Amino acid sequence: MNYGQALEYVRSLSSRGIVPGLDSIRELCKRLGNPQKATKWIHVAGTNGKGSAVAYITAILSKAGYRVGCYVSPTIRDYRERICVNGGMISKVALAEGMTLVKEACDAMVSEGLPQPTPFEVETALAFWYFQKKKCDLGVLECGMGGLLDATNVIEGTLLEVITSIGMDHMQFLGGSIEKIAAQKAGIIKPGSAVVCMEQRGEVLKVIEEKAKKEDASLFISRSSAATKVQYGLEKQSFHYGKHGKLTIRLAGKFQIDNAVLAVDACEALKGLGIRISDEAIREGLLGTRWDGRLTVVQKHPMMVIDGAHNEDAAQKLAKSIEMYFTNRRIIYIMGVLRDKEFDRIIELTHSYADQIITVTPPENPRALPALDLAQEVAKVHPSVTAAASLEEAVEMARLLADKDDVILAFGSLSYLGKLMDIVGYPAKRLSRTRRG
């Protein structure tokens, strides 16, 4: 199949939805020759901050001279963003080649009466195949959902598990309490491994500590409070951390200091496991990390910022960022969410900062909450809300409403932010010559 056919194949599987469990991915990987066994892994789980932590760690390891595979989801602008090696997306040719092999294995499974693997299982297997093909030294994997029953958890020889901020999300699959969700996230911890975990609320940390003890895994708690001389900014932030002195990042948000400290601690743990990482690689990797869609400035006059705050924990962090960066600024929201998220809590936590709210329907997503339905929910607590017929209309409305000193803040589901970036003309990541194949 060609690239277009490969994408269409994945789309055709969307009706499978989310099916937690490892039996199907194990069988699929087995039929592909177990490519996941060819790579040493850093496995990242959590509710929020996973993508940023993966981006930081991948950039640092790349600067350290390793060939690093990176697997994340969802993506912002290009489907191929989810599978990269040293920052370069999988090529269309390689994706088509790999997807052909994966489809053949899936078809064989179905013909034998086994379940059709889900889109995420197919993509995960493709990532494993590609990293083996590219002879990656290390792979950094972001859990899709949870951890214990997530398709990425089919890996066995994990070097390091990294656990980011844990909050309430995907409760219909992970459980209705923070402890149950934490247990699912902690499910990535393997016997005798090393774990670096962001500082958590007490009941969450207790679950992780118990799991680490049960698996005889070493556990280090990353404490962002140890960062000093913090200087916040929308386009550049800096902090001092231990022996590293001053470190600088380009990602905005107070929470990005937490994620950066977690990444540094993860790399220090990797050094203890024999992975050579210089202090300069840590410094340059942090500075060079770009992770669009996380409090990203995409337009300056008036300022437009996008953020993938799509659940309660992320909405709380967004509210703190608004208070930090946009005090006494008039703010206009563009807001779009999925119907299976806690949109009532997102509204509750963020509505008071907005002067005007424009709702949109995330396009091409069967889980999208219609703009009119979201507007009706917002209207219960905010007097100025309008449902837009399209993203283009929402951007036009926001620009007409905004003066040059105002802020347009677009947030919610990541599934629409990429198209919004295209509408406003925000440039995609530049691909270097190493980003081929």
CATH code, domain with 207: 3.40.1190.10
pLDDT tens figures, 67-118: 999 999 888 889 999 999 999 999 999 999 999 999 999 999 999 999 999 9
Residue 437 lies in a domain: no
User: Within this chain, do residues 73 and 150 fall inside the same structural domain, yes or no?
Assistant: yes
User: Within this chain, do residues 92 and 39 fall inside the same structural domain, yes or no?
Assistant: yes
User: Within this chain, do residues 110 and 168 fall inside the same structural domain, yes or no?
Assistant: yes
What's the pLDDT score for residue 435? 34
Residue 432 lies in a domain: no
Residue 248 lies in a domain: yes
What's the pLDDT score for residue 311? 86
User: Within this chain, do residues 312 and 389 fall inside the same structural domain, yes or no?
Assistant: yes
Q: Which residues of the chain have pLDDT under 50?
A: 430-437
- Final residue before a domain boundary, out of 254, 288, 322: 288
What's the pLDDT score for residue 341? 81
User: Within this chain, do residues 141 and 264 fall inside the same structural domain, yes or no?
Assistant: yes
Range 357-377 burial, b when 16+ CB lie within 10 A, else e? bbbbbbeebeebbebebbbeb
CA distances from 239 to 71, 265, 281, 318 (A): 28, 14, 17, 20
- Final residue before a domain boundary, out of 288, 318, 342: 288
Domain interval for residue 175: 3-288
CB 162 within 8 A of CB 266: yes
pTM: 0.90
The encoded tokens of residue 283 equal 């410094």
What's the pLDDT score for residue 14? 81
d(CA 123, CA 16): 13
What's the pLDDT score for residue 95? 98
Residue 430 lies in a domain: no
User: Within this chain, do residues 252 and 215 fall inside the same structural domain, yes or no?
Assistant: yes
Residue 399 lies in a domain: yes
- Final residue before a domain boundary, out of 230, 257, 288: 288
User: Within this chain, do residues 403 and 283 fall inside the same structural domain, yes or no?
Assistant: no
Residue 436 lies in a domain: no
What's the pLDDT score for residue 430? 42
User: Within this chain, do residues 372 and 407 fall inside the same structural domain, yes or no?
Assistant: yes
Nearest to 211 by CA among 259, 147, 266, 141: 147
Nearest to 24 by CA among 80, 100, 105: 105
User: Within this chain, do residues 45 and 177 fall inside the same structural domain, yes or no?
Assistant: yes
What's the pLDDT score for residue 433? 32
- HEC profile of the chain: CCHHHHHHHHHHCHHHCCCCCCHHHHHHHHHCCCHHHHCEEEEEECCECHHHHHHHHHHHHHHCCCCEEEECCCCCCCHHHHEEECCEECCHHHHHHHHHHHHHHHHHHHHCCCCCCCHHHHHHHHHHHHHHHCCCCEEEEECCCCCCCCHHHHCCCEEEEEECECCCCCHHHHCCCHHHHHHHHHHHCCCCCEEEEECCCHHHHHHHHHHHHHCCCEEEEECHHHCEEEECCCCCEEEECHHHCEEEECCCCHHHHHHHHHHHHHHHHHHHCCCCCCHHHHHHHHHHCCCCCCCEEEEECCEEEEECCCCHHHHHHHHHHHHHHCCCCCEEEEEECECCCCHHHHHHHHHHHCCEEEECCCCCCCCECCHHHHHHHHCCCCCCEEECCCHHHHHHHHHHHCCCCCEEEEEECHHHHHHHHHHHCCCCCCCCCCCCC
